[in-house]
Amino acid sequence: MVDMAITKVKTPGTLPDVDKLGFGQYFTDHMFVMDYATGKGWHSPRIVPYEQFELSPAAMVLHYGQAIFEGMKAFRTEDGRINLFRAKDNFRRLNRSAELVCIPQMDEKVLHDALIQLIETDKRWVPGKVGTSLYIRPFAIATDPFVGVKVSDTYKLFFILSPVGAYYAAGFNPVNIKVEDKYVRAVKGGLGEAKTAANYAASLKAQIEAKKEGFAQVLWLDAVERKYIEEVGTMNILFKIKGEIVTPALNGSILHGITRDSVLQLARDWGVKVTERRIAIDEVFEAHAKGELEEVFGSGTAAVISPVGELSWKGQKIVINNNKTGPFAQKMFDHVAGIQYGKIQDKFGWVETIAKV
């Protein structure tokens, strides 16, 4: 384990009502922090009370967006263990995002150890109700007080923890999605593969316009031809066409989703044909016209699986599986959640039991 100072809160916080957790609005008592300076490297790992911190108004992250983040979850099992899901893969991706925006590489073993110690410190905050979990948000920011454009020489890394509610407390609810034909999210050679602030800033205007038009989310098309499917706001997208799972290949402009990877590995393990390739939006509409489009769903850490009930593109709407959750999406959701909560055997080594409550 990494040797680090732990400063505990004087008065532990009151736990929120498990029925009103929602997403990302409550934070636990402590956070993990580590600093970086050129010449010194990453240093001073520590667990401290969750609190506000000082930053220069000139801090580079505020001006040029040199920022990266991750999102993953820990789960409390029925018998009181805490399971962490694929954290090592998230830390690998954090370093990949870091590389793309010139943030110095971090020691993934240190990050992993630090996370386990932080969760151990705040384990009473891991909610136990079915479907709830502890959302983990690592992030790193550039802190040089300097308003010229350059790569920063100082950074801060944080892990903050948030107990979150069941995404599907009221059952699966397929979403209606707008296929975006005006705005674009990312282009190959850009930052699309990084979990970095800029990508989300770039997505807000399209998202707001789609909401006004009555859609829950947008589905992005490629930025060059506006033809090939990319991904949804914070989810990858998968199609079931004539029994086959088809999803966009990792082409340089979409995020390498860890849930996407879990879904593909499980589908292959079940003997389902899986293809990662380019998919044109016309192809999806044609498959629907021929009665071959069986299911559409998103994949991401927050929801695991999010069924898509309707897709609209340039004013044409298709309804998928009668706007009902398909059997494959349901089975996949149940299986991934079953592994996370320790109810289904984890033959892929995705889960680590890190503490007992």
Ligand X SMILES: *Cc1c(COP(=O)(O)O)cnc(C)c1O
Q: Which of 45/163 has CB closer to ligand X? A: 163
Smallest gap from Cβ 327 to ligand X, in A, equals: 22
Q: Which of 59/219 has CB closer to ligand X? A: 219
Amino acid identity of residue 333, one-letter, is F
Smallest gap from Cβ 217 to ligand X, in A, equals: 11
Helices marked H in 165-279: 197-201, 204-212, 258-269
Place of tokens 């040029």: 64
Q: Which of 180/231 has CB closer to ligand X? A: 231
Smallest gap from Cβ 282 to ligand X, in A, equals: 23
Smallest gap from Cβ 259 to ligand X, in A, equals: 3
Q: Which of 142/232 has CB closer to ligand X? A: 232
Smallest gap from Cβ 303 to ligand X, in A, equals: 9
Q: Which of 143/253 has CB closer to ligand X? A: 253
**Chain residues that interact with ligand X, rule: CB under 6 A:** 71, 195, 231, 234-236, 255, 257-260, 299-301
Q: Which of 59/238 has CB closer to ligand X? A: 238
Place of tokens 């991904």: 231
Which of 317, 325, 269 is closest to 297 using CA atoms? Answer: 325
Helices marked H in 27-100: 60-64, 87-100
Smallest gap from Cβ 194 to ligand X, in A, equals: 9
